[in-house]
Amino acid sequence: MTVMTDFAPVRRSLDQQVADGQAPGFTAAIRYAGRTSYYATGTLAFDSDQPMRTGTRFRIASLSKPVGAVVALSMVADGLFALDDPVAQWLPELAEPRVLVAPDAPVDRTVPADRPITVRDLLAMTLGQGALPAELPVAKEYVELVHQGPLPPFMTPDEFMARFARVPLAYQPGTRWLYHAGMDVLSVLLGRVAGTSLSSVLRERVTGPLGMRATSFQADGETLPTAYRSLADGGQEFGEYGGAFEQARAFESFGGGLVSTVEDYLTFLAALADDRLLPRELREQLTTDQLTPEGRAGISELCGPAMSWGLGVAIDTAVTEPWTSVGRYGWFGGAGTSAWVDPSRNLIGVVFSQRWVDGPRDDFGYFWRPLADVVPA
């Protein structure tokens, strides 16, 4: 087999995105058939002459979630807890969860949970709480008491859990996928189990062994690319989000708290795909559909019917675009980042920008389409 390593169409597409003003700059990393390629184009901001580099650190938003999932499963591999353990052993705040009688019910109309929330529920995002239509009473309660939106939580993990426990679950545990909240809760659990900061856990289990020196929970004094709102929101500079990563925070969360580079993130995904981070059985669980047909309704509403969820990553369940394939796994970050592993193509791709996406179905086609032309199924 001849291995194609000329990714000129991908580079031209990223250059065109810069020329069209879609974002000031992009970085990308590709591994195909064991060979790697990196590319950077543009600048750190629209009004900057500082060039983008492949080692430029970005706020990777929800691409933090797969990293947190690997940390959790590495702790499972070490016997610190099991996937089906009830979380109340470490999160007593969730010992007796209450569940709404219906997702649109008033927040005081609840019943006891049918069963305990488990570690698996947090990773599969089936704990019963998460992103919900804003008009629902429980969604309003969550925003008021806990957290919502792109900014990392500005509170301690203990305060977060105390607030989280005051909001009823919208669904019974295990019955429906709801985005995001599970990873914030999981982050608290991991810190309590380890008895140390998530920064330390991350260094010990992922970034240290892999030499990922640019991946952490804050910018460490480095100037990050300027963050911009989505075009749908006007595209202006998003200063509040950008400034949230300038210093250490009280709550380090894998929900969306990491900064990294395409070089580091490709290293991470390659180690995961090559079974150098987890035992194969756990990696297969992480990258295999964990949802029931009924539970999948939540992710179908967000991303369409051809996608499901494993234990911290999304999974393609059907071919809908030239670059998709059944079993392809990965995710995206709302801040403008996308990373996927395609075992059928022996391909890993990572692309970072600093403009927020227009919505969960923003497909980063400007990167994946030309890549699929170079590396066909």
Residue 236 lies in a domain: yes
Q: Residues 227, 97: one domain? A: yes
| pLDDT above 70: percentage of residues in the chain | 98
Characterize the bridge pairing of strands 314-316 and 110-112.
unpaired
Q: What is the pTM of this model?
A: 0.96
- The residues pairing with 337 across neighbouring beta strands, listed in sequence order, are 333, 352
Q: What is the DSSP string of 139-190?
A: HHHHHHHT--SSSPP-S-HHHHHHHHTTSPBSS-TTS---SSHHHHHHHHHH
Q: Residues 244, 226: one domain? A: yes
Q: Residues 70, 46: one domain? A: no
Q: Residues 48, 162: one domain? A: no
Q: Residues 148, 190: one domain? A: yes
Host domain of residue 192: 58-262+278-288
Q: Residues 88, 139: one domain? A: yes
Question: Which pLDDT score, from 0 to 100, does residue 5 have?
Answer: 59
Q: Which of 228, 254, 288 represents a domain boundary (last residue)?
A: 288
Cα–Cα dist 201/27, whole Å: 27
Q: Residues 203, 149: one domain? A: yes
| pLDDT above 90: percentage of residues in the chain | 88
Cα–Cα dist 371/324, whole Å: 11
pLDDT surpassing 60 at residue 132: yes
Residue 345 lies in a domain: no
Residue 142 lies in a domain: yes
Q: Which of 56, 72, 97 represents a domain boundary (last residue)?
A: 56
Model confidence band, residue 147 (pLDDT cutoffs 50, 70, 90): confident
Residue 221 lies in a domain: yes
Residue 335 lies in a domain: no
Residue 95 lies in a domain: yes
CATH number at residue 202: 3.40.710.10
pLDDT surpassing 80 at residue 3: no
Question: Which pLDDT score, from 0 to 100, does residue 108 have?
Answer: 97
pLDDT surpassing 50 at residue 71: yes
Residue 355 lies in a domain: no
Greatest mean pLDDT among 187-196, 235-244, 354-363: 187-196
Q: Residues 152, 171: one domain? A: yes
What's the order of all strands across the beta sheet hosting 35-42?
35-42, 25-32, 347-352, 337-342, 329-333, 314-316, 307-309
pLDDT surpassing 60 at residue 364: yes
Q: Which of 288, 323, 356 represents a domain boundary (last residue)?
A: 288
Question: Which pLDDT score, from 0 to 100, does residue 149 have?
Answer: 75
| Section 159-169 average pLDDT | 97
Q: Mutual orientation of helices 64-77 and 262-273 as an angle, nearest 10°?
A: 40
Domains contained in the chain, number: 2
Q: Residues 64, 46: one domain? A: no
pLDDT surpassing 50 at residue 100: yes
Dump pLDDT digits (tens) for 195-241: 999 999 999 999 999 999 999 998 888 889 999 999 888 899 999 89
Cα–Cα dist 159/161, whole Å: 5
Residue 334 lies in a domain: no
| Section 60-82 average pLDDT | 98
pLDDT surpassing 50 at residue 91: yes
Q: Residues 9, 125: one domain? A: no
Q: Residues 200, 252: one domain? A: yes
Dump pLDDT digits (tens) for 282-330: 999 999 999 999 999 999 999 999 999 999 999 999 999 999 999 999 9
**Closest by alpha carbon to 363, among 315, 303, 308, 297?**
303
Q: Residues 116, 230: one domain? A: yes
| Section 25-47 average pLDDT | 96
Model confidence band, residue 2 (pLDDT cutoffs 50, 70, 90): very low
Greatest mean pLDDT among 166-180, 243-257, 352-366: 166-180
Question: Which pLDDT score, from 0 to 100, does residue 1 have?
Answer: 29
| Section 108-125 average pLDDT | 98
pLDDT surpassing 50 at residue 4: no
**Residue 138 in 3-state DSSP?**
helix
Give the tokens for residue 208.
Answer: 């240290």
